[in-house]
Amino acid sequence: MVKPRALTPGDRLAVVAPASPFVREEFDQGIDEIRRLGFEPVYDESVFARRGYVAGEPAVRAAAIQAAWSDASIAGVIGVRGGYGSVHVLPLLDRALARRARKPFIGYSDLTSILTFLTLGCDLVAFHGPMLAGRLGAGESRYDRESLLHALCRREPMGELAPPALETIRRGEASGVLLGGTLSQLLGSLGTPFAFAPPDRYVLFLDEVGERPYRLDRMVTQLRQTGLLAKASAVVVGELPLCDEPSGEAVGLTGRAAIADVLSDFGGPVVIGFPSGHTIGPAMTLPFGVRCRVVADSRPRLVIEEAAVE
């Protein structure tokens, strides 16, 4: 894997909108937070483009990313928000340019598509981390500052990450390259030129929001039937907010219970409740494409064993 160059104070971060439109107030608050982090946000008027439920024409959205990769004065790229639309830009992105640029790319949710494009299509480390709307724009109650800055700025492994709400579903210990993202996005990529196609013995991170338990079961079952689940050495699951059954005969059934059940016979360790991506509190940043170790015991933890930047 190629590692991006580490960010330093004063570096310019390009702000891009590959997916849905956003609320201007949240955007402005996110811009302010980037400045408080010590970086200089950079964007042009194209970020405010609109076309129905996406942030402008695909060519406009892709051009903003390509321009950031091409501009030597830009050190990294961060998304405004998820929603939908990142898949539109994938055919328009230049893999060789992304790899040469070696710039950190930060996003989650719908931007899972771009994280997969970079990690598995370009062999470039990328970051499952907070975006402007709803995260950076809301301050440190919605994102974890320490993990973000460590992942992006420090040329050393992040080490042990043991958030207090993390739970062990299946005990054990396993290592591999950390990959994944939002489950529905990973499945949506299958059968395309941008498919999620991880190597053997990888560590799978799964994030999701607003999916009822049976839908989580369906998606993980599909992942199993593709053979991609069997290739994983371990599974780390996010917090799954808004994934509990709201009413009806299955009232009380939780997303976590559904995931625990469908992964009950998985061959390696499984932990659940890792706060990255869609979270109810501060979201931690995870580097995709680096080696990690999952320890699932009475004190479950994820250990990032490799620096994400150089």
Q: Give the pLDDT confidence of 230-271 residue by residue, as tens digits.
A: 999 999 999 999 999 876 556 668 999 999 999 999 999 999
How far from 19 is each of 24, 109, 111, 159, 242, CA to CA, in Å?
15, 10, 7, 32, 21
Topology (CATH level 3) of domain 12-153: Rossmann fold (3.40.50)
pLDDT at residue 250, rounded to an integer: 61
Q: Spell out, as residue ranges, where the chain has pLDDT lower than 50.
A: none
Q: What is the dihedral of CA 274, 241, 141, 22, to 10 degrees?
A: 120
pLDDT at residue 60, rounded to an integer: 98
pLDDT at residue 246, rounded to an integer: 79
Report which of 228, 136, 213 is spatially closest to residue 181, judged by C-alpha positions.
228
pLDDT at residue 25, rounded to an integer: 97
Say which CATH superfamily domain 159-304 falls into.
LD-carboxypeptidase A C-terminal domain-like (3.50.30.60)
pLDDT at residue 251, rounded to an integer: 63
| Segments making up each domain of the chain, as ranges | 12-153, 159-304
pLDDT for 36-60, tens place per residue? 999 999 999 999 999 999 999 999 9
* Helical spans, DSSP H, in the chain: 24-36, 58-70, 86-89, 95-101, 112-121, 145-153, 183-189, 213-226, 255-262
Asked, colleague to colleague, whether 12-153 and 159-304 share their fold, the answer is: no
Residue with tokens 């060519």: 59
